[in-house]
Amino acid sequence: MKKLLTAILLTTSIFGFAQNQSLISNVPNRNTTSLNGVWNYIVDPYETGYYSFHHDEYDKQAKPSNAAYFNNYHAVNKQELVEYDFDKSPKINIPGDWTSQVPELKYYEGNVWFKKSFDYNLKAGKRLFVYLGAINYKADVYLNGKKLGTHIGGFTPFNYEVTSIAKAKDNYLVIKVDNTRHKEDVPTINTDWWNYGGITRDVTLIEEEASFVEDYNIQLKKNNATLISGFVKINNPNVSQNAVTITIPELKINYKGKVGADGILNFEIPAKKISYWSPENPKLYDVTLEYNGQKLKDNIGFRTIETKEDQILLNGKPIFLRGISIHEENAKGGRANSEEDALRLLNWAKELGCNYVRLAHYPHNENIIRTADKMGLMVWEEIPVYWTVEFTRQATYQNAEDQLTAAVTRDKNRACIIIWSMANETPISDPRYAFIKKLVDHTKSLDNTRLISAALLTQSDSAGFGTINDAIGDYLDIISFNQYLGWYGGKLEDAEKIFWKTKYNKPVIVSEFGGDAKQGLHGEKNERWTEEYQEYLYIQNLKMIEKIPHLSGLSPWILVDFRSPRRLLPGIQDEYNRKGLISNDGNKKKAFYIMQNWYSKKEKEQNQN
Ligand code: GCU
């Protein structure tokens, strides 16, 4: 936790209130104005709005040319040459990717400019920030022609202060989005999901006082079920106003503390008679932070999560994670981002019998995290260190670490999150080992209360055993691995003869297994792509999986068919990965009921223990 504070302080002290403002948390409960809605956009494959004809960057010019799109310029007379006009350009709904909204942009990977005009009457002494839930992949952000900053990473939030730039009338927020893939990015150039470009999550204005609560952590201290601990961080601390009150009425807590000159208050508050958060009892407490006459509310659950030898303990009791993997897609073939999207996905998970979801392969939007908190679904949250990122490149590591810091900063008060995942199916090598170990150490410095894992690849030993022989397992709390018996190899008939072993006495999660089926395609159980094949695959895999020593959970791949440019079999895949238990148009497949039945029996078994 201390490192998180240092990271935040460093950002604030170096940049002050300048462009790279440290992340503001709990945005949904702040004084906000949404900039969601209809924006104009300009497709700019040659980055004409960013570079001069000699390829000089306009935003490096002392007085950027009116040809720079971020100036949102309009000709002032009939002679003037201006070769763009946002207001006459096409419109798009934000938040939303361009793949699913603009058919001509389905395969487009490059630059698109977006513009939103707005008025804002900012009273004297108040401060204004623009907060972006996520932009895939690189964003250059401007307000009224001034560069606010550049952000890299497609799945985590960021914000900029605009107090001295915003005007009462006719502000224009212009964002250049580039979703071009690069080997050195995180994720790297190849993924098994669609590269949805655009402003894919909410755009919000946040109004604050001169000195305000920017971030805080209020959770149970590690290994202590009766002590709430954490920190409060004040942006622009005001030494004459350093009193902070934390109230949790239902726990009879009315804690008063003082922040230091650095704006930080570290606290520990004894708490009795907590109704602990769990899937059966997703209790969220009303929490209010008061500072300098301001009240910031949140709804926070309290629970402990730990491992003891090969068991996962929730609130001190062994728990089996009945999970499913989920990609962040809505029912309209695009990126999910709303509460409605979250309810659709998580209600299906509940119907399947889940108490846990693996949100793959990147941090999902805040709506699904807060909805899981309310519904009592435990969450595996992951950063997109996926397959073959450039493990030897420091800037690639920093990118991964920055995405992890933003995810932890945004979600660290959500009881539903029990696992931070460092990576997915990364090939074993010394540089990859060092890369992931550094991420593990960084995660623990930010949050030592949650479990750490990664979806590992498997090997088979000479005796034909399936095994997880990956040294990074030494640093993981949970040994998770993906295996695809019957889809990418092996015979389903052999399932009952296959045994798995791991050298660790740690909990094991099978983080992926599954196979494709085109919903509505029927045939014999040995006919690949039919629902019957997928059904048989689940039956056989589950017979094998239930024998795995230390098994503490599973998250089959995957809840819903999802779009992927790798899956091109005509009439069957048609650019969709069909491993969903539900088709992308919402129809359940036969395997859904196999998994549902298995979870139902597992739940009864757990309740008898
Ligand atoms: C891999 C990978 C997934 C991918 C899946 C598949 O394990 O983790 O992202 O979609 O297998 O091949 O369908």
pLDDT at 608: 87
pLDDT at 2 over 80: no
Q: Which residue has its alpha carbon closest to ligand 1 atom 7?
A: 482
- % of the chain with per-residue pLDDT over 90: 92
Tell whether ligand 1 has an atom less than 6 A from the beta carbon of residue 192.
yes
Q: Which residue has its alpha carbon closest to ligand 1 atom 9?
A: 192
Q: Which residue, 406, 387, 437, is CA-closest to 135?
A: 406
pLDDT at 13 over 70: no
Q: Which residue has its alpha carbon closest to ligand 1 atom 3?
A: 192
State in Å: Cα 489 to ligand 1 middle: 14
In what helix (H) or strand (E) does residue 443 lie, and over which residues does it extend? helix 430-446
pLDDT at 268: 98
Tell whether ligand 1 has an atom less than 6 A from the beta carbon of residue 424.
yes
State in Å: Cα 575 to ligand 1 middle: 14
Tell whether ligand 1 has an atom less than 6 A from the beta carbon of residue 482.
yes
- Which atom of ligand 1 is the closest one to the Cα of 516? 13
State in Å: Cα 507 to ligand 1 middle: 22
pLDDT at 467: 84
pLDDT at 1 over 90: no
The token pair at 52 is: 């001069």
- Which atom of ligand 1 is the closest one to the Cα of 424? 8
Tell whether ligand 1 has an atom less than 6 A from the beta carbon of residue 561.
no
* E strands present in 301-439: 305-308, 311-314, 317-318, 321-322, 325-326, 356-359, 378-382, 417-424
State in Å: Cα 579 to ligand 1 middle: 9
pLDDT at 459: 82
- Which atom of ligand 1 is the closest one to the Cα of 562? 10
Sign of CA pseudo-dihedral 246, 248, 251, 254: positive
pLDDT at 398: 98
State in Å: Cα 427 to ligand 1 middle: 14
pLDDT at 4: 53
Confidence band, pLDDT 50/70/90 cuts, at residue 305: very high
Q: Which residue, 478, 401, 479, is CA-closest to 446?
A: 401
pLDDT at 16 over 50: no
Distance from C-alpha of 347 to C-alpha of 341, rounded to nearest angstrom: 10
Confidence band, pLDDT 50/70/90 cuts, at residue 481: very high
- Which atom of ligand 1 is the closest one to the Cα of 487? 12
- Angle at alpha carbon of residue 144, lines to 142 and 150, rounded to 5°: 10
Q: Which of 15-19, 186-190, 330-334 is predicted with the least confidence, judged by mean pLDDT?
A: 15-19
State in Å: Cα 589 to ligand 1 middle: 19
pLDDT at 10 over 50: no
Pocket of ligand 1, candidates 190, 191, 192: which has the most ligand atoms within 8 Å of its Cβ, to mutate?
A: 192
Q: What is the pLDDT of residues 365-405, one digit of tens each?
A: 999 999 999 999 999 999 999 999 999 999 999 999 999 99
State in Å: Cα 216 to ligand 1 middle: 36
Is there a contact between 158 and 406 (Cβ–Cβ < 8 Å)? yes
- Which atom of ligand 1 is the closest one to the Cα of 512? 7
- % of the chain with per-residue pLDDT over 70: 96
Tell whether ligand 1 has an atom less than 6 A from the beta carbon of residue 512.
yes
- Which atom of ligand 1 is the closest one to the Cα of 455? 8
In what helix (H) or strand (E) does residue 540 lie, and over which residues does it extend? helix 531-545
Tell whether ligand 1 has an atom less than 6 A from the beta carbon of residue 577.
yes
Q: What is the pLDDT of residues 511-541, one digit of tens each?
A: 999 999 999 999 999 999 999 999 999 999 9
State in Å: Cα 499 to ligand 1 middle: 22
State in Å: Cα 572 to ligand 1 middle: 17
Q: What is the pLDDT of residues 60-110, one digit of tens each?
A: 999 999 999 999 999 999 999 999 999 999 999 999 999 999 999 999 999
Report the b/e string of 195-209 with b at 16+ CB within 10 A: bbbbbbbbbbbbbbb
Which residues on adjacent β-strands are paired with residue 576?
563
Tell whether ligand 1 has an atom less than 6 A from the beta carbon of residue 579.
yes
Q: What is the pLDDT of residues 186-237, one digit of tens each?
A: 999 999 999 999 999 999 999 999 999 999 999 999 999 999 999 999 999 9
Tell whether ligand 1 has an atom less than 6 A from the beta carbon of residue 516.
no
State in Å: Cα 192 to ligand 1 middle: 6
In what helix (H) or strand (E) does residue 151 lie, and over which residues does it extend? strand 146-152
* E strands present in 406-522: 417-424, 451-456, 459-460, 466-468, 479-482, 500-502, 508-512
pLDDT at 15: 34
Is there a contact between 32 and 204 (Cβ–Cβ < 8 Å)? yes
State in Å: Cα 370 to ligand 1 middle: 26
Q: Which of 2-16, 136-150, 359-373, 579-593 is predicted with the least confidence, judged by mean pLDDT?
A: 2-16
pLDDT at 307: 98
- Gap between the terminal Cα atoms of the chain: 36
pLDDT at 469: 87
Q: Which domains are seen in the chain, by residue range? A: 27-208 (2.60.120.260), 212-302 (2.60.40.10), 306-608 (3.20.20.80)
pLDDT at 5: 52
pLDDT at 468: 87
Distance from C-alpha of 32 to C-alpha of 13, rounded to nearest angstrom: 25
Higher pLDDT, 459 or 402: 402
State in Å: Cα 560 to ligand 1 middle: 13
Q: What is the pLDDT of residues 45-57, one digit of tens each?
A: 999 999 999 999 9
pLDDT at 7 over 80: no
Q: What is the mean pLDDT of the chain?
A: 95
State in Å: Cα 199 to ligand 1 middle: 25
Tell whether ligand 1 has an atom less than 6 A from the beta carbon of residue 426.
no
